[in-house]
Amino acid sequence: MESEKKILMVDENDCGDLVKDCKPEDILCSEIVMDENGVLWYVDGNDGFEGEKGDGSNVVFAREAPLSTKDPLTSKDYSCGTNKFRLMESEIRRKDKNKQEKKLSRKDRIELGRLFQGALSSQDLELAENFILLADPQTLNDLLCITLDSIWFLTTRQELNGVIGMIKKIVANGANDFTRATLRTSFLASCVSACQSKTMSLADTVGIMAQRLHERLRECHGDEVLKAEAGVKVQKFTDWALKCIGIHSRCRKDRDRRNYSTIFEVQLQLSAFKSFLDLAGNSLTGKDFTEAFDAACFPLTLFSSSFDPGWAFGISATVIQGLLGMLVEGGADNVNQCFLEASRFGSTELVRILLQIAQRNSLDVDVELALGFASHHCKIGTMECLVEEGNAGAFLGPLLRAAERGCMQVVQWFVDRGCRDMELCIALTASVASSQVGIAAYLLPCIPEHVLSALSIEILKAAAERSSGSLAGVEFLLRNNFLGDPVATYAVADSIAESSDDEAVAPDLRAFLKEHWSEAAFAEGLNYGQNHFVNFMRILRRGDSPICLRDLPPSLVMAIAYLSLYRECRKAGGLLLPQKLRGQLVEAASKVAGRPVDKNSQAGDLMAVLEHHLPTFFLQSPTTTSPPL
């Protein structure tokens, strides 16, 4: 099937696109026109009015039979042209007794289709059968589509018998386009089930559908022009389905006020579809069933947000379950493909239905890959369904990618579900490599200290290796004392900095740690601090400045000497300072306090020494408003 140009499909090895190589002749593409009688007609622009076909496929899907916008139960418009067609019938039979050679004009086909639909909707089956006798082969296929579409609105066994008889009559007279009828009615059945909401009107559902189609196209990659064209064409076809539902809904409301089917009615509808499939027999191939399965699934991805809670377990979903089940029995082999697509777009109720179908038919669906798709697009409800009902349990891949992207909601969901310590460490490494410090800060407390300690060197090395040149994530771990012990954290950094023979250490990581976080950097900071003190004292005692520094208050003298260092340390933030900066701070605290300070003292204690000797008004300066260390 490599040569086929498909729409609405998802590749199992990729996130998939709504549109793949979409062309104007694709099977979901057609133009909608309205005739003078207000009839919607789907045309392909060919003079002979042939059906549109997808590349590499003989399936006709988008060229639609007529649909009257008038209420057939409140108007007898279907009888307006009866005399005309009786005269036409006589003329046709007089000129050519071979019925297979009859060919109606486009206008006559539209009129005949409208009249047939009106007769069928009003249960005037005798008149409808008379119209069958007037139809040419192409119009017979249109009438087959119209009749098959009506099965999803059956309410009585009498109606069922009438429709089945009508289908048999149409087929006996020459209708043979079972493929188009199957695809079209599968799409319509899905829309019917989706629109049977007890909490939302049809008009509201139309708005939601349009919004979801726009969102779905926006989420897809690909040529914007092709996406726009596909959106318009799919929108038109869905509009047709919703108008069809509206007409039949008005017919039903004349008999009762329900907007949903009973279990008995669902059984009638599925029985009618099964009878049609039996009648079609070998005329439908496995490819036909596969494309019909896709056509039935697609609308549910658009309507998913309008479903009532638990829709997949209700009567409305029973039709779809039965329809899809029969398509699978017929040879549809794209259950997993549609399952992945539904997971990607967060169509949770459809995911539930496809899980049930896969289980009943012993089919394999890739719940782990589906979980990856759902998590990538942050579809939390679908993720819960896949884990709880599909038994998905491979969290590492989706967790890692969520950490890389900085998707906190998904990371939290996986952590709450329960992740192994090693999975959390790998996710931490991914977030550090991508400089997603918010994710890293969230994950750190979730990992036991002994695990972090054992893997600390590998985490830093792997994070630097996977980074795109930035070591901001590594620096975040060190500044925030990721091992919970300053001595241990500094020791890990020094170990990597001094590992000159370890080829697994990225050169930029080794250079960075050696310059800022190693013992050598600390010694350099101490030396720098000593030289600074010597230079300052020389200025204080021998300087030629007209301002006699020795006459200033001691606190101001300290400010002149160490305010810049204090501000730099405040700006650095974090629980730990880089070793080079800490070395300077240790030396400064020793000079200010007039006594040696412990070289293992950390930023908080050292800064407190400086703050004790600096003027208060300097401490309140806007440049020193960083949170205390």
DSSP of 83-136: HHHHHHHHHHHHH---GGG----HHHHHHHHHHHHHHHHTT-HHHHHHHHHH--
The stretch 267-286 carries a mean pLDDT of: 96
Q: Is the pLDDT of residue 211 over 80?
A: no
Q: What is the DSSP letter of 17?
A: E
The stretch 219-239 carries a mean pLDDT of: 73
Q: How would residue 238 be classed by pLDDT, with cut points 50, 70 and 90?
A: confident
pLDDT of the residue at 120: 86
Cα–Cα distance measured from residue 335 to residue 343, given in angstroms and rounded to the nearest whole number: 12
Three-state secondary structure call for residue 18: strand
Q: How would residue 539 be classed by pLDDT, with cut points 50, 70 and 90?
A: confident
The stretch 440-456 carries a mean pLDDT of: 95
Q: How would residue 52 be classed by pLDDT, with cut points 50, 70 and 90?
A: very low
pLDDT of the residue at 307: 67
pLDDT of the residue at 22: 35
Q: Is the pLDDT of residue 12 over 50?
A: no
Residue 426 CB neighbours (<10 A): 20
Q: Is the pLDDT of residue 311 over 90?
A: no
Q: Helix 315-330 vs helix 263-280: angle between axes, to the nearest 10 degrees?
A: 20
Q: How would residue 171 be classed by pLDDT, with cut points 50, 70 and 90?
A: very high
Residues 513, 506 contacting (CB under 8 angstroms): no
The stretch 45-51 carries a mean pLDDT of: 34
Q: Is the pLDDT of residue 43 over 50?
A: no
The stretch 412-428 carries a mean pLDDT of: 96
335 compared with 42, residue with greater pLDDT: 335
Name the range with the highest mean pLDDT among 264-278, 567-581, 585-599, 614-628: 264-278
Q: Is the pLDDT of residue 489 over 80?
A: yes
The stretch 297-312 carries a mean pLDDT of: 74
The stretch 71-89 carries a mean pLDDT of: 45
- On the 0-12 / 13-18 / 19+ scale of CB atoms within 10 A, 557 is middle
Quick one: the chain helix, strand, coil %, rounded to 5?
65, 5, 30
Q: Is the pLDDT of residue 606 over 80?
A: yes
Q: How would residue 297 be classed by pLDDT, with cut points 50, 70 and 90?
A: very high
* Span of 68-77, 104-113, 230-239, 259-268 with lowest mean pLDDT: 68-77
The stretch 363-372 carries a mean pLDDT of: 96
Alpha helices in 220-262 (DSSP H): 224-253
At a CB cut-off of 8 Å and minimum separation 6, what does 438 contact?
406, 408
Q: Is the pLDDT of residue 495 over 90?
A: yes
The stretch 127-152 carries a mean pLDDT of: 93
DSSP letter string, 25-75: TSTT--EEEE-TTSEEEEE-S-TT-PPPB-TT---B-SSPPPEE-S-TTT-
Q: How would residue 330 be classed by pLDDT, with cut points 50, 70 and 90?
A: very high
pLDDT of the residue at 596: 87
* Span of 24-33, 58-67, 597-606 with lowest mean pLDDT: 24-33
Instruction: Give me the chain's average pLDDT, please.
Output: 79
pLDDT of the residue at 468: 80
Q: Is the pLDDT of residue 482 over 80?
A: yes
pTM of the model: 0.76
Q: How would residue 260 be classed by pLDDT, with cut points 50, 70 and 90?
A: low
pLDDT of the residue at 165: 95
Q: Is the pLDDT of residue 426 over 60?
A: yes
Q: How would residue 85 be classed by pLDDT, with cut points 50, 70 and 90?
A: low
Q: How would residue 24 be classed by pLDDT, with cut points 50, 70 and 90?
A: very low
Q: Is the pLDDT of residue 159 over 90?
A: yes
pLDDT of the residue at 253: 54
pLDDT of the residue at 46: 36
Q: Is the pLDDT of residue 594 over 70?
A: yes
Cα–Cα distance measured from residue 520 to residue 149, given in angstroms and rounded to the nearest whole number: 81
463 compared with 469, residue with greater pLDDT: 463
Residues 385, 352 contacting (CB under 8 angstroms): yes
Cα–Cα distance measured from residue 520 to residue 494, given in angstroms and rounded to the nearest whole number: 8
Q: Is the pLDDT of residue 149 over 90?
A: yes
193 compared with 281, residue with greater pLDDT: 281
Q: Is the pLDDT of residue 576 over 90?
A: yes
* Span of 193-197, 199-203, 417-421, 507-511 with lowest mean pLDDT: 199-203
Q: How would residue 420 be classed by pLDDT, with cut points 50, 70 and 90?
A: very high
% of the chain residues with pLDDT over 70: 73
85 compared with 407, residue with greater pLDDT: 407
pLDDT of the residue at 266: 92
Q: How would residue 63 be classed by pLDDT, with cut points 50, 70 and 90?
A: very low
